[in-house]
Amino acid sequence: MTEEYNKALKAGEKEYKAKLAAGEYPYLPALDDIAPDADTLTHKPLGIKEIPVELIAGTKTRARQNSFAPDFMPLIEADSEFAAKWNNLYRAQISEGFNDPIKAYEYLHRFYVQEGNKRVSVSRFLDMPMIAAEVTRIIPEEEVLDQHPEYKEFLKFYSVAPVYDIEPTWEGAYAEIAELLGRDLEEPWPQDLVRSLRSAYWMFSMAWRELGDKMPDLPPGDAFVVYLRIYIKDALNHQPPSVVSKKLLRIRKELLTEANKERVALVESSDEAVRAGSLITKAGNIVAGPDSLIGKVLPAVTYSAKNPFKAAFIYDKSINASSRVADHEKGRIRLENAYDGMVKTRCYEGCRDQESFEAAVKDAAEWGAKAVFTTSPSQINDALRAAIEYEDIEFLNCSVNLAHQAVRTYYAKLYEAKFLEGIVAGQAAASDGTHTIGYCSDYPIYGTIAGINAFAIGAAMADPEVKIYLDWYSKRDTNWWWDMVDKGIHMISAVDSLHAVDGSDAFGLCYVERCEPGQGNDLSGSCRITNLAVPIIKWGKLYEIIIKTMIEGTYHASRVDKKDQATNYWWGMISGVVDIELSDDLSPYTKKLVGLLRDDIIDGRFDPFDKLDSKDIIMMDQLNENIIGEIPKIDSLNDEAQNTVKYGGVEKARIK
């Protein structure tokens, strides 16, 4: 057995020299050095557990540090008592396995050995995945936990599903795993589910290691979450590594995007999208005919009323129950009308669960749809799974800053119109002497905070004394309308739509006055509402442009379809996608001012956030100083809003 020890010794010496050459510590790290106060912290015995050998990071004390390289390979000469004991343990493991568990301390998801360093060394040499250990967890101080939010979440996860193996690197990953499995991080999971999850990760990790360089440089825990998003139905069905490998190769682009620090590529101009492949388009026009080179490389598809381009729209709610969905439905109808029979569409309402969503996609595919638009961030995982299954269909989701190559996202720069709406509101608040405005927003998702702040900036430019009272209609048990009216607020920014589904006039920017019951035009009939301005997203225009790129063959042009990045369309006034409608009741001076600023935004001469990068605007989660209110936490929102925010919410809202 000296031969095996010599191999281990040679590996240890190699690691030792490599660390020295890199200027790094060449021995095992010791927990006593990493956390000098470890013995005074809270210790929690966990009993005997099977722990991943790869998570054993070092030794508890300094006593045995110099006997091993950082990878636990030995550094002591072959004719030593140490080597003899190592050889005995090697023989024992080969013949019958270790009899006793090692003793180890767990600190921040890593293990440090108190007793059994040689057994760990032998296990590493034999490439054993697991080893039995009597584990004691050392719980860090709260200040340290705050610096490691992903570990703080792991502690919650472990309390309901005691699995050490899975280690994603971002906060929220364990909550996502729980949600994908229909569980939470509060109640203990069934033992069968825990075993199935552990087994699924083992199969996944074996496939991941076997694929090696074919997979991106991504922590396996992060890759596993991506894998679960797409294959959640099959992942827990004890699939062998060979099957898992095929699936991983199929979603390689998604994994490459996950591994990319710059995951999202914003396309901020519709011209950029439409003209991205103009060179190819021109070449196709010049060299015509089925036998031409361009015709062989890019065979043309001619769409007409007899052979229309087909697009499906999948809504999470019914058209009559949501002003947001109703606006998208108007956009769908406009899209059909704009192409005069060359584009046909279908819509599917109320697809709020996976079963109804999959049924809609199946029907759309059988109908011959080439594109599927999903209109809520909450549909992103369903859209992603469908996009992997139906590779010949283009899937898109109405959201921004979500990173999937298989599903493009689209949204509007509504903050441009909200800024102009703020100008109108500020002038009105100054004129009536209240210097107060109410603002009710929908969901704290990417892009929404920019709209609130742009409104506040516009209002302050018109009235430096103005205060904005912010509320959210997606909060549980909210009564935002009467809270504002009872405060004596007359100027209220309500739903950003040309209509409210409740039949009242409470939409856009409203001037509100109390009146005799029955004489008003709000839902109660007790308030008289005058609509002054409405920010508009022209969804039909946006859909026209996207479909145009598909029909003309520029959708996948390299200037738009960036390598290892997700494409997000984010268009505003310059693209004709965002605008504002003004009431005839406004003064001509207000209209002129708004018109001048609108022209400046369209011409690129002005932006409310002129010193901020576009991605900073999208991810904004701080409120302007003249706003009274807060960004709500996800657990204060109603169920529908929580489902939206957990996918597309700003960081401050997603963290409980």
| Domain presence at residue 422 | yes
User: Does one domain contain both 509 and 626?
Assistant: yes
243 vs 260: CA distance, rounded Å: 26
User: Does one domain contain both 592 and 458?
Assistant: yes
User: Does one domain contain both 487 and 585?
Assistant: yes
Inter-residue long-range contacts of 172-178, CB under 8 Å, 24+ positions, other chains counted:
172/654, 172/655, 173/221, 173/222, 173/225, 175/646, 176/225, 176/229, 176/646, 177/225, 177/228
Exposure of 218 by Cβ count < 10 A (0-12 exposed, 13-18 middle, 19+ buried)? middle
pLDDT by residue (tens digit) across 23-37? 999 999 999 999 999
Exposure of 593 by Cβ count < 10 A (0-12 exposed, 13-18 middle, 19+ buried)? middle
pLDDT at 299 over 60: no
> Residues 442, 470: contact at Cβ < 8 Å?
no
User: Does one domain contain both 220 and 290?
Assistant: no
User: Does one domain contain both 447 and 593?
Assistant: yes
| Domain presence at residue 562 | no
The alpha-helical segments, DSSP class H, found in 126-172 are 142-147, 149-160
Work out how many domains the chain is built from and give that number: 4
User: Does one domain contain both 249 and 293?
Assistant: no
User: Does one domain contain both 467 and 369?
Assistant: no
Would you say the pTM of this structure is higher than 0.95?
no
pLDDT at 89: 95
Name the region of 463 (left: φ>0; alpha: ψ -120 to 50; beta: rest): beta
pLDDT at 381: 94
| Domain presence at residue 545 | no
User: Does one domain contain both 238 and 314?
Assistant: no
Radius of gyration of the chain (CA): 30
Using DSSP, state whether 627 is helix, strand or coil. strand
> Residues 217, 237: contact at Cβ < 8 Å?
no
pLDDT at 286: 34
CA angle 311, 314, 316 (to 5 degrees): 165
282 vs 493: CA distance, rounded Å: 47
User: Does one domain contain both 461 and 364?
Assistant: no
pLDDT by residue (tens digit) across 618-641? 999 999 999 999 999 999 999 888
pLDDT at 501: 53
pLDDT at 282: 36
8 vs 418: CA distance, rounded Å: 67
Helices (H) and strands (E) in the chain, counts: 25, 19
User: Looking at residue 43, which CATH number applies to its domain?
Assistant: 3.90.1530.10
Q: By C-alpha distance, which of 620, 327, 331 is closest to 456? A: 620
pLDDT at 288: 35
If one compares 372 and 528, the residue with the highest pLDDT of the two is: 372
Residue identified by tokens 């927990």 is 31
pLDDT by residue (tens digit) across 81-134? 999 999 999 999 999 999 899 999 999 999 999 999 999 999 999 999 999 999
Mean pLDDT of 488-508: 77
pLDDT at 51: 96
| Domain presence at residue 152 | yes
Q: By C-alpha distance, which of 319, 333, 384, 332 is closest to 357? A: 384
| Domain presence at residue 265 | no
Domain that holds residue 192: 148-259
The pair phi, psi for residue 633, each rounded to 5°, is: -75, 155
Domain limit, last residue, from 100, 122, 144: 144
212 vs 113: CA distance, rounded Å: 29
| Domain presence at residue 211 | yes
pLDDT by residue (tens digit) across 391-422? 999 999 999 999 899 999 999 999 999 999 99
Domain limit, last residue, from 124, 144, 164: 144
pLDDT at 281: 39
Tell me, rounded to whole angstroms, the distance of Cα 539 from its chain centroid: 23
| Domain presence at residue 240 | yes
Domain limit, last residue, from 237, 259, 281: 259
User: Does one domain contain both 422 and 507?
Assistant: yes
User: Does one domain contain both 509 and 641?
Assistant: yes
pLDDT at 504: 62
| Domain presence at residue 352 | yes
User: Does one domain contain both 600 and 454?
Assistant: yes
pLDDT by residue (tens digit) across 250-291? 999 999 999 998 889 999 988 877 775 543 333 333 333 334
pLDDT band with cut points at 50, 70 and 90 for residue 294 = very low
User: Looking at residue 465, which CATH number applies to its domain?
Assistant: 3.40.50.2300
